[in-house]
Amino acid sequence: MKVSIIGGGAIGLLVAYYLKINKKEPVIYTRSAEQAEALGKSGLTYINVEGLPYNVKVEAKPIEEFSGRESYCIITVKQTAIKDLQWLGDHKEISCLFLQNGISHLSFIDNMPHKQVSIGVVEHGAVKENHTTVHHLGVGRIKLSSYRGNAHFEWKSLLNSNSSLVKIEEVWETMVYEKLVMNACINPLTAILRVTNGELLSNNYAFSIMKKLYDETISALNLIDRREALWKELLILCRNTSLNRSSMLKSVESGQQTEIDSITGEIIKRAITLKIDTPYSRFVYEAVKALDRRG
């Protein structure tokens, strides 16, 4: 079975590898023809957490060649590129799975004509080293839920393996907002300080700021009853992905636009509605926006 993947970033390549070892045939649609050509010639190289490389053959095409031929489609592009996928509406018969940080893509999904739309969050740490290589830095889970329709169990069968644990969440809001907590506490801070996830734990000053961001975030999202449990999950995530450089940090380093609006921007919006002060969130938001503008 062929499964299309829109996006040739770290998550797109990681998911493609999991599909391949699950005896499926991923078709990776990339922004550049150069990356598609490189993947076609050299294959996809996956480097595991022990540093051992594995190479698999994959099919890759420039995004302009997407035709909706594959019945299942995984969208892994960043929030900043979601708005460029309006043409997906021309292929309403396919089943879509969105894997993004933040929550801005939810409004995009609401306007899609598709009957089967699932959403997920990725807890793995991974970095794209070049056009054809993804380095797995931290093993986690992929959580899935149906946003519309009931295709989440089909997606689990496609992606679940000994190497990639997939967990079904019955309530998508819980899954998405809990991941938003993690992103809001880790991504902006690592981008500003230019540090790995693990350094947020080892640096006392960074740790203190992360705790204040955490308190503001769970208040804005009405997750006070999950305060202790989510804090433990945040610390575990930082440890499990200690060597990972967040996607926001990598965007800043490469001069690309970050996903700050879809992450901290959404936290601030909800805080305003609830009349909650979020001074630390506002600071990291403006600091990252300044870095965006500089890039």
For the annotated catalytic residues, the residue numbers are 179
Amino acid identity at 227: R
d(CA 186, CA 210): 7
The residues pairing with 148 across neighbouring beta strands, listed in sequence order, are 117
With contact defined as beta carbons under 8 Å apart, do 126 and 141 qualify? Answer: no
Strand locations in the chain (E): 2-6, 25-30, 44-47, 53-56, 59-62, 72-75, 95-99, 117-122, 125-130, 133-138, 141-148, 165-168
CA dihedral in degrees (262, 266, 269, 270; nearest 10)? 160
Q: Which of 210, 200, 220, 205 is nearest to 265 (CA)?
A: 220
Sheet holding 125-130, edge to edge: 53-56, 44-47, 133-138, 125-130
Token pair recorded at residue 213 = 């961001």
Q: Exposed/middle/buried for 277, CB within 10 Å: 0-12, 13-18, 19+?
A: exposed
